[in-house]
Amino acid sequence: MSEKRKIIPKKTKRLKSRPRRWPLLKLAVPVVLLIFVALGLYVTYLDKVIRQKFDGKRWALPAVVYSRPLELYPDLPFTASMLADELQLAGYRRDKAAKDPGGYDLAGNVMHLVTRDFSFADGLEKSARLTVEFSGSVVRKISATETGAEISLARLDPVRIGSFHPLENEDRIVYSREELPDLLVKTLLAVEDQHFYTHFGVDPLGILRAMLANVRAGKTVQGGSTLTQQLVKNFFLNNERTLQRKFNEVIMAQLLEVHYSKDEILTAYVNEIFLGQDRGRAVHGFGLASQFYFRREMKDLSVAQMAMMVGMIKGPSYYDPRRHVERCLLRRQVVLDLMLSEGVISAETHALAKEAKLEMTGAVQSAFNRYPAFLDLVRRQLGEEYHEEDLTSNGLKILTTLDPQVQMRVERHLGETLSSLEKRTGSSGLEGAVVVSSREGGEILAVAGGRNALQPGFNRALDAQRPIGSLIKPVVYLTALANGYSLASPVQDVSLTVTAAGSKAWRPANYDKKEHGLVPFHEALANSYNLATIRIGMDVGVEKVVDNLKRMGINREFQPYPSFLLGTAAMSPLEVAQIYQLFATGGFYQPQRVIGSVLTLENKVVQRFGLTVEQRFPPETIFLLNTALQRVVAHGTGRSLLTYIPATVQAAGKTGTTDELRDSWFAGFTGDRLAIVWIGRDDNKPTVLTGSSGAMVVWGKIMQSLHPQPLELLEPEGIQWARVDAGIYGRSHAPSRDNALLPFAAGTLPAGAAPASPSSSPAGVETWEKKVPEVLNSIRGWFQ
């Protein structure tokens, strides 16, 4: 009985503890429910994130900028080395025998190349196999490689010179599922996710296998993430190694599989995966990576090349073939072994691919974002027509006017000449800027914003506002020619004092500190006499000169002070180019342009940038001025230019120098090109260079390398030629004054002048009647 009494209290104790557990259970149920609700809400949020980004525009595709297309034809002044240089810039590769698009081979004076498909504004230019034969420095013959049929004109796909990225600086070439090579798909699945088409976003067996392999190896040798998980990590998340990120990755991978097909996920992965860094841009996707590493389309990659790129997924920097050759090669061999074991390739193909050398293209620099000054100008002109988002996310194709051949020469001669000038003068810190355009069309062919062409930053060609010095004088003399002066008008080059209310008296002087007395109008311009220019400008009115400058396209306010006549107004080299473009085109105003057309990602034309042409000055007046500018080079301050180009080119131009030799300028044009060169210092200290000893040297070397065409001025109807007795100006030692043959507008022939027959017109002049049909046809062509 006593033992039973002992049992009773134990039983009583157990009954008393039971009521205490019910409150804990009641508390746990709502907590668990709350966790499930929160988890459900969080999953719903992740689902919304996925669908918003994946259903919309998946990538911000930058606008891609191209140069002008290279057009080859017989007798074109173009060498084999020039063509090879441009093909390298365009991302072509040199093969032993050109077979695939984007390849070329060169043996002696014969080049074989296979162009790439490219959609221009006027339609698709399909890939072609071409043979180009050279004779000396010209193209002798172009023919179809397969048939031998001669071709009169071949248009090559242009150089990709840059793109406008969003803040992320990502770039990619987007492919559809149908465009993915079968070799790439099979290799990806064999290496990265063998159960891709059977799992639901996460592969538990794959994770287990990876864990066992890592334990056996004592280090991480295999990953367990599926392609879907990798896409989630790259597309939605980041590379943080946290439990929260891994949790998000697992959930989002399964959500992605719920909403989208396997092919959609695979295609997005191929376009998204990070595969390297090209200076300032991240290389995403196999499409761009194949161009970046091999200069080939994906469909043209060899087995070894495909294996190398798939192997780089594991670590693009670690396996970079240009920095870590052995690592990359070993990784490629591992991938090739997997391709063999999974039946992607045969044993024979495997053996050949393993013997292949690792292809290296790092020594060749493409033109991508290589011309920051030109791209800056392109972006500014596009900014007048398009929103920033259009340029950085809609994948526009921008076809520009840049000529890589001209740009390369501009960069080389500007840098080399500035270094040479610094050595010669013992100075340092010289900077420069160059703008080159076509003479007739106004297309800007090259821009250099500084001596270091690859360095972005301050663009002196567009933003350096510097006094232009004597470059303003042709505007002064043009105004005078339109107001009663002729090239033979006598002008006093003697000292004067200019006074104005509220300011000190100003006594200008010539550069040589001398007075030259009574001189011919054309000689005052050729020798850049300041005193004569001041007298001419004040006689016709400074306000008229300022107004004419505005008519030339410089839409800014300038105070009509007398000092304006000597170039105290500050302008950029680009603005000066616009002024001289009007001279070069015979008085036609046409805004200089850098863009030819804009196409959408689907190659539909959005806009063509045609020419706006308006004759703002009479052709007779411009003809007289241009004849005087030719005399600047033949007899005046520009005569040392004939060291670089022959006199038969009949170039027209003007030197410019500012106070204390702070700025050195030269502006001029030949039969085919116009160029403006400025040299100075960013701190505005003296350069010890005049226009002829500094900027003109750069100009001359650039033009010398471009083999300029002769300048043939169009002679308007009514022009009369005559010789003026030099004795009317007084005594002079200037040989250019004796027996000078000068043109005159109708009714302006001076008394005592001896008319000359048309046959005695100087070289470089053609009659208006002979050339005007050609000009009209050219202008019509601009609008077609």
The residues carrying an active-site annotation are: 192, 470
Give Rg (Cα) of the chain. 36
CA distance 474 to 494: 20
Count of beta carbons in the 10 Å neighbourhood of residue 153:
10
Name residue 743's beta-bridge partners.
Answer: 721
In 3-state terms, what secondary structure has residue 308?
helix
CA distance 547 to 542: 9
Residue in 780, 770, 670, 668 with CA at minimum distance from that of residue 719: 770
Does an H or E element contain 608, and which?
strand 605-608
DSSP letter at 219 equals S
CA distance 320 to 362: 11
Name residue 436's beta-bridge partners.
Answer: 446, 675
CA distances from 199 to 194, 343, 529, 755 (A): 10, 21, 86, 96
Pairing state between β 741-744 and 720-723: antiparallel
CA distance 334 to 307: 9
In 3-state terms, what secondary structure has residue 433?
strand
Q: Contact 195/205 with Cβ under 8 angstroms?
A: yes
Q: What is the four-CA torsion angle of 652, 658, 664, 669, rounded to 10 degrees?
A: -20
Contacts (Cβ under 8 Å, ≥6 apart) of 701: 413, 416, 417, 644
Pairing state between β 741-744 and 517-520: unpaired
DSSP letter at 148 equals -
Going through 158-271 in order, the beta strands assigned E by DSSP cover: 160-164, 170-171
| First-last CA distance in the chain | 121
Structure tokens at 575: 């603005």
In 3-state terms, what secondary structure has residue 559?
coil
CA distance 178 to 159: 27
CA distance 226 to 221: 15
Going through 532-587 in order, the beta strands assigned E by DSSP cover: 570-571
